[in-house]
Structure 1
């Protein structure tokens, strides 16, 4: 039996086959190093006394967990010294973080610890990252430098910290899944060329918000719940972990649709999830795995961003299911 390909070996080969420059390889390697550190911190969190919430809030007004800050620091410490990252934007930072003394070619956007409300109950959480090219010739670094459409991403992916730590990686040439060896800490290619199954009977949505859903989403979920006796003619299962990375990783492996749609719970918010460091990178991965990512009214990756912490409605997964929900939105 052949040995799995390491992340380092994969990146070396990809640098040639996909013309990925050395600086981008360094960024991804350091993201892997940060994910390794975060995985260890999660494993020892209860013993180290770093579970629970802080007294601070992030830029979106959400109470930060202690491990949110640990994860954020892990990424900054891993990426800062490389010299190839000009700036970092994170869910846990109010604004962009210009890397001191760096004039690198890349910008990194992060959700350092997605699903952190699940930490204290030992449910899978993860990290999400998006890599963009840094504008050249800019004096200083501003929000505007990060406000690039999802189609401009040069790399994106996420890590899942569960029974195993998995790193899902995409350079725009398919999706690869790497599993961290529990002893060496090395990421090994265990899921090459991930493809989302086209046909599915699973959906993931927070049904506690049902009374606020818009009619197209109400219609779609009602049809799924009706099962064999309904218009779809088959039974569906509902799955909801409560961390986007865990729900999306499931649909990558066995199909499905994940939805956090716009609703009327707070009419001032166009959605729950953040465009730049959640919807865009995950949408990039989903599309490259053969799926689709939509707001219900259009492709997520084509949205023109207006703010780093901008929210957006998210409907993504197996293409035929996403297109069905989009058709219901179009029908009004």
Structure 2
């Protein structure tokens, strides 16, 4: 399908739906509701320094992390918007310890997992942050959804994406037919197609990793990182390090420019032996995006992220994600 620059995201979604005569429009409606929530969050992020909602709220989420005020705002915005949209049967959020029911009478056929504000520890220093989302079809037939509906592997996602808040606000998403990027024009409140059919470079020269944690990593991961730092003109080494510390921002940069992001397991915290990234609403949706863009996503023992069936809402996984040939090479070091 021809995708002219400047088409609105709603028109793009409607045009895509027309290619599927069997479509009911529910997924299109769901995405539209998420987009409205994203616009609301974007406006609040842009005013955060003036509205006294920077910093901590004084609460701690299920991950044991201090909740930022904007985290709380973003979480509540998405919950309230989506609870009665009529397209969902159940939700889960990074900020909630249990599944989130929708309002009675508004049950639909999809599930939503989301990180309302990834990278929120960087809010106070004006680093890019974002909302990550994942959509599945429900497994149960009707009524309120439950754990069975939420705990599905990434391979079965019907949509995934993120909204990146920064110098401009971008929506990047896929419904399994390539990756499209839209930029918000705040003067009219519309997302316009700015990055059609995104393809990530097959190989890069960029590494995104927090090397300050290397002492705690598995030996094979350390060997791979060391290899990337060696001088090798034929292989384009040494690689340059580009690490922001906000997953969605690091991923977005590498998606567009090429690169490999690594967050391996470590032995620093016995309660988090598989690192800090969550499968359902961080690793899986980004893995769907990167595969649709021509890249790969695996764990640090070589398992495809999209093939993992979660056993809990907040399951953590090691993550190696990015340009295909870089991930292929990393996999060769994993044994």
Question: Normalised by the shorter chain, which TM-score bucket?
Answer: over 0.9
| Matched position secondary structure for 2:117 | strand
**Counterparts of 2:141 and 2:186 in 1: how far apart (Å)?**
43
Contact 1:38 1:71 in 2 (8 A): yes
**Counterparts of 1:242 and 1:227 in 2: how far apart (Å)?**
26
Question: Is 1:109 matched with 2:113?
Answer: yes
Contact 1:86 1:134 in 2 (8 A): yes
Shift of 1:21: 3.3
| Matched position secondary structure for 1:87 | strand
**Counterparts of 1:51 and 1:265 in 2: how far apart (Å)?**
29
| Matched position secondary structure for 1:21 | coil
**Counterparts of 1:194 and 1:81 in 2: how far apart (Å)?**
32
Which residue does 2:310 correspond to in 1?
305
Question: Is 1:314 matched with 2:316?
Answer: no
**Counterparts of 1:207 and 1:18 in 2: how far apart (Å)?**
46
**Counterparts of 1:259 and 1:234 in 2: how far apart (Å)?**
17
Please list every run of 5 or more consecutive structure 2 residues that lacks an aligned counterpart in the other structure.
none
Which residue does 1:249 correspond to in 2?
252
Shift of 1:30: 0.8
Which residue does 1:15 correspond to in 2?
17
Deviations 1:160-193 (A, max 9, x none): 1011100001001100000000211101111000
Which residue does 2:97 correspond to in 1?
94
Provide TM-score, normalisation by structure 1. Answer: 0.95
Question: Is 1:64 matched with 2:36?
Answer: no
Which residue does 1:131 correspond to in 2?
135
Aligned pairs for 1:1-332 within 5 A = 4-18=6-20, 20-101=23-104, 102-137=106-141, 140-228=144-232, 232=235, 234-268=237-271, 269-296=273-300, 297-330=302-335
**Counterparts of 1:263 and 1:227 in 2: how far apart (Å)?**
27
How many residue pairs get aligned? The number is 328
**Counterparts of 2:236 and 2:306 in 1: how far apart (Å)?**
32
**Counterparts of 1:212 and 1:232 in 2: how far apart (Å)?**
27
Shift of 1:103: 1.8
Shift of the 191–78 alpha-carbon distance from structure 1 to 2, 3 Å rule, reads same
Cα root mean square deviation, aligned? 1.5
Contact 2:207 2:260 in 1 (8 A): yes
Contact 1:7 1:187 in 2 (8 A): yes
Contact 2:5 2:194 in 1 (8 A): no
